Amino acid sequence: MPDRTDDDLDRILVAVRTELGQWGIDRFDVATMTDRHGLDYQVITQRWPDPTALILDALADRPPTDDPLPDTGSLHEDLTLLAIAMVGLITSEDGRRLHGAHLIADQQLLTVDIRRLAWRARASRLEIVFERARQRGELRDGVDHVTALELLFAPLNMRVLYTGETVDEDYCRMIAGMVCRAISTTD
């Protein structure tokens, strides 16, 4: 396959996220996506012979960002910044759609694994925040960073996506503080 530019790759992944936001993971189809977005089906299937890999690449690091992960020197501040970033994502039009695409209507669908893999990939990227806290002596032994992230993000998702309540920086700070009290040696 010819080398693809970053712009080509970005265009493909944006198209995937657009389709997922509109149709969900369960109804995603590579051929339909390529038709709708004017993409080359063969180029995409050469790079991603399995549609699952294409979906995971599009979801694993959404939205694409070059922003570094928070490193304030404080677990509470780092978690607050992660919470604020999550709220920014889920209150955006694209973020809301993509989160809707993750809802599981039927536990027996094969695409449930895609959702789990995408979440694990994103959580893995954020593990460094907890590793830094561990190195600073802030984290209790045995804390699982994935569970800690679930504790942080679940209330935000609940408010924004299910109850429509406002989530501001003070709320993010409060939730981060509650998570810190549960997992930190110092808070």
Is 136 a residue whose pLDDT tops 90?
yes
* Bridge partners, residue 139, by sequence: 184
Domains 6-60 and 75-183 fall in the same CATH topology: no
Return the pLDDT at 116. 81
CA distance 52 to 126: 22
Return the pLDDT at 122. 85
Segment 36-41 mean pLDDT: 94
Model confidence at 31, pLDDT cuts 50, 70, 90, reads very high
Is 77 a residue whose pLDDT tops 60?
yes
- Buried b vs exposed e over 16-43: b needs ≥16 C-beta within 10 Å? bbbbbbeebbbebebeebbeeeebeeee
Segment 74-99 mean pLDDT: 87
Return the pLDDT at 87. 92
CATH topology of domain 75-183: Tetracycline Repressor; domain 2 (1.10.357)
Cα 23 from chain centroid (whole Å): 18
Return the pLDDT at 176. 98
Query: What DSSP assignment string belongs to the chain?
Result: -PPPPHHHHHHHHHHHHHHHHHH-STT--HHHHHHHHT--HHHHHHH-SSHHHHHHHHHHTPSP--PPPP--S-HHHHHHHHHHHHHHHHHSHHHHHHHHHT--S-TTSTTHHHHHHHHHHHHHHHHHHHHHHHHTT-BPTT--HHHHHHHHHHHHHIIIIII-----HHHHHHHHHHHHHHHBS--
User: Which backbone phi and psi does 177 adopt, to 5 degrees?
Assistant: -65, -40
Model confidence at 92, pLDDT cuts 50, 70, 90, reads confident
Q: What is the pTM of this model?
A: 0.74
Model confidence at 186, pLDDT cuts 50, 70, 90, reads confident
Return the pLDDT at 64. 46
More confident residue, 20 or 130: 130
Domain boundaries, the chain: 6-60, 75-183
First to last CA, the chain: 52
Return the pLDDT at 61. 55
Is 98 a residue whose pLDDT tops 90?
no
The CA distances from residue 174 to 90, 121, 187, in Å, are 18, 26, 12
Return the pLDDT at 121. 84
More confident residue, 51 or 175: 175
Segment 50-71 mean pLDDT: 75
Return the pLDDT at 62. 55
Segment 110-136 mean pLDDT: 87
CATH number of the domain at 6-60, please? 1.10.10
CA distance 92 to 32: 25
What is the rounded average pLDDT for all residues in the chain?
A: 85
